Amino acid sequence: MRKLLSVLLAVLIVASVTVVSFSAAETGTATVTLKSVKGDTVTKTYAVGETFTTYTYLNASQINSGKIGSLDGTQYYTNSVLELAEEYDPVEGDVYDVETVFPVTKTATVASGHWTESEEKPGMGAVYYNATIASYSGFKFDADNKALIICKYKVKAAGTATVENAFTTLACSDYDLTRIVNKGVIVNDNFTSPVALSEPATPVVTGYTVSGTATSYKTNDGVNDVTLKLTGSDNNYTDTVIVTASYSGVKADTAYSFENVPAGEYTLSVEKGNHVTREYTVSVSADTVQNVKICPIGDADSNGRVNSADAKRTSQHANGQIDLKEIDPYQFACADTAAPKNRINSADAKAISQHANAQKSLWTVTAE
Ligand SMILES: [Ca+2]
Ligand SMILES: [Ca+2]
């Protein structure tokens, strides 16, 4: 009798193991669409059991230099298909790593976020996020680190799912607190919010790299910053990169780089103290190398030095012997050192000559 009982128990144990094994073998796929604040979408398919990460990026760099004063929003997800993969406390609702949700680049007071079931959208889960800062200094999203919200999901069943972002408010930190998004309505359209789904988490490419060497020259001590500004002609993109010139003799070849530049046409302006600002037209449809060169004020032959040869060349233009504008409009601009502007006469040649003879410097910037 005891032997029969133990056989029965063994059968029961085997049966229960079989049930667990059957459950684990569930298969299928989920088609997941992530929607940005502005309605852009990206769709990917995942197997049941897989995890993936959603990135919602914020590029507010065109508004108040990227400084944000407050934001408040929700990420909804189809909870019959998806569940949050990270551990969280549904009662306390605290996000464990708030820096992951708000990777702000400036010290900021970040308010609580919490994960819960959505009351606003039955059948959807929700991740709430909000942050405010009492002072007007705000916190800043820069071009390299502008992910607003990062969430990891797990596919728990086959089907179709959406993950969508809804901002309630997004406000600049200037004194007017001009709102970009107000009560769910995008008031100022001048920012972007690209979206991406990935697994495993990989850097998200929302554009291309524009990079190269910026050549400039030594003028006065402490004048080392080269400012490069890239501005879209057919989009709202704008970004500024400042690099510090490192000299080899009087010349500095300094690497620069813009990341995540959308395809399009751009103006790249290059500035440095005591140099003549120069603009380049850059067309971006892939990673692009654009080397640039700027010269000091008075350098009429683009060799980085201002001496008697530049005065002579400028004088030759003034006398009608050569046409600098035809040779190189930038050399014309470098030679055009004295009033009136956009015209070269003996006054320009004289100013360069005085600089070359150390009588009166054309380079008035002494430090930045
Ligand atoms: Ca020269
Ligand atoms: Ca002039």
Do 172 and 85 lie in one domain? The reply is yes
Residue 223 C-alpha to ligand 1 middle, in angstroms? 19
Smallest-distance ligand from the CA of 299: 1
- pLDDT, tens only, 300-328: 999 999 999 999 999 999 999 999 999 99
Smallest-distance ligand from the CA of 337: 2
Q: Is residue 11 part of a domain?
A: no
C-alpha–C-alpha distance, residues 208 and 263, integer Å: 7
pLDDT at 60 over 90: no
pLDDT at 256 over 90: yes
Smallest-distance ligand from the CA of 318: 2
Do 112 and 62 lie in one domain? The reply is yes
Bridge partners, 247 (sequence order): 252
The CATH number for 367's domain is 1.10.1330
Q: Which residues contact 39 (CB under 8 A, 6 or more apart)?
A: none
Bridge partners, 114 (sequence order): 128
Smallest-distance ligand from the CA of 296: 1
- Give the residue from 241, 268, 293 where a domain finishes: 293
Do 282 and 351 lie in one domain? The reply is no
Q: Where does the pLDDT of residue 16 fall: very low under 50, low under 70, confident under 90, or very high at 90 and above?
A: very low
Number of helices and strands in the chain (H, E): 6, 22
- Give the residue from 150, 169, 198 where a domain finishes: 198
In order of 22, 132, 171, the CA distances from 174 in angstroms are 59, 13, 9
Q: Is residue 1 part of a domain?
A: no
The rounded mean pLDDT for the chain is: 79
Cα separation of the two ends of the chain: 97
Residue 346 C-alpha to ligand 2 middle, in angstroms? 8
pLDDT reported for residue 166: 84
pLDDT at 283 over 60: yes
Q: Which residues contact 121 (CB under 8 A, 6 or more apart)?
A: 76
pLDDT at 14 over 60: no
- pLDDT, tens only, 107-154: 333 333 444 556 678 778 877 766 666 555 556 665 544 566 777 788
CB 151 within 8 A of CB 97: no
Here the tokens at position 305 are 């030095």
Q: Of all residues in the chain, what percent carry a pLDDT higher than 70?
A: 73
Q: Is residue 125 part of a domain?
A: yes
Do 177 and 224 lie in one domain? The reply is no
pLDDT reported for residue 347: 97
Residue 338 C-alpha to ligand 2 middle, in angstroms? 4
Rg (CA), the chain: 30
Residue 327 C-alpha to ligand 1 middle, in angstroms? 15
pLDDT at 104 over 50: no
Residue 213 C-alpha to ligand 1 middle, in angstroms? 20
Averaged pLDDT, 238-256: 95
**Angle at CA 238, nearest 5°, toward 237 and 244?**
145
CB 37 within 8 A of CB 188: no
For residue 144, which of 241, 225, 264, 282 has the smallest C-alpha distance? 241
Q: Where does the pLDDT of residue 298 fall: very low under 50, low under 70, confident under 90, or very high at 90 and above?
A: very high
Do 248 and 280 lie in one domain? The reply is yes
pLDDT at 261 over 50: yes
Q: Is residue 19 part of a domain?
A: no
Here the tokens at position 177 are 């607190």
Q: Which domain holds residue 354?
A: 298-368
For residue 214, which of 240, 238, 239, 243 has the smallest C-alpha distance? 243
Q: How far is CA 38 from the centre of its chain?
A: 17
Residue 335 C-alpha to ligand 2 middle, in angstroms? 8
Residue that is written with structure tokens 């998806």 in the block: 82
Residue 310 C-alpha to ligand 1 middle, in angstroms? 5
pLDDT reported for residue 107: 34
Do 262 and 351 lie in one domain? The reply is no
The CATH number for 115's domain is 2.60.40
Dihedral, CA atoms, 203, 204, 207, 209, nearest 10 degrees?
-10
Smallest-distance ligand from the CA of 350: 2
Q: Is residue 16 part of a domain?
A: no
Q: Where does the pLDDT of residue 205 fall: very low under 50, low under 70, confident under 90, or very high at 90 and above?
A: low
CB 110 within 8 A of CB 56: no
Q: Is residue 123 left, alpha or beta, with left meaning phi > 0 and alpha meaning psi from -120 to 50?
A: left
Judged by DSSP in three states, 66 sits in helix
Do 288 and 142 lie in one domain? The reply is no
Q: Where does the pLDDT of residue 299 fall: very low under 50, low under 70, confident under 90, or very high at 90 and above?
A: very high
pLDDT at 201 over 60: no
Q: Is residue 58 part of a domain?
A: yes
Q: Which residue has the higher pLDDT, 279 or 204?
A: 279
Do 155 and 218 lie in one domain? The reply is no
Return residues with CB closer than 5 A to ligand 1 (ion). 299, 301, 303, 305, 310
Q: Is residue 107 part of a domain?
A: yes
Do 71 and 111 lie in one domain? The reply is yes
CB 197 within 8 A of CB 52: yes
Q: Name the domain count of the chain.
A: 3
pLDDT reported for residue 368: 64
Between helix 346-356 and helix 308-318 the angle, nearest 10°, is 170
- pLDDT, tens only, 151-183: 778 898 999 999 998 888 887 766 555 677 888
Residue 117 C-alpha to ligand 1 middle, in angstroms? 70
pLDDT reported for residue 312: 98
For residue 138, which of 58, 72, 60, 69 has the smallest C-alpha distance? 69
Bridge partners, 142 (sequence order): 145
Smallest-distance ligand from the CA of 341: 2
Residue 351 C-alpha to ligand 2 middle, in angstroms? 10
Residue 131 C-alpha to ligand 1 middle, in angstroms? 54
pLDDT reported for residue 200: 44
- Give the residue from 148, 166, 198 where a domain finishes: 198
Q: Is residue 7 part of a domain?
A: no
Residue 189 C-alpha to ligand 1 middle, in angstroms? 47
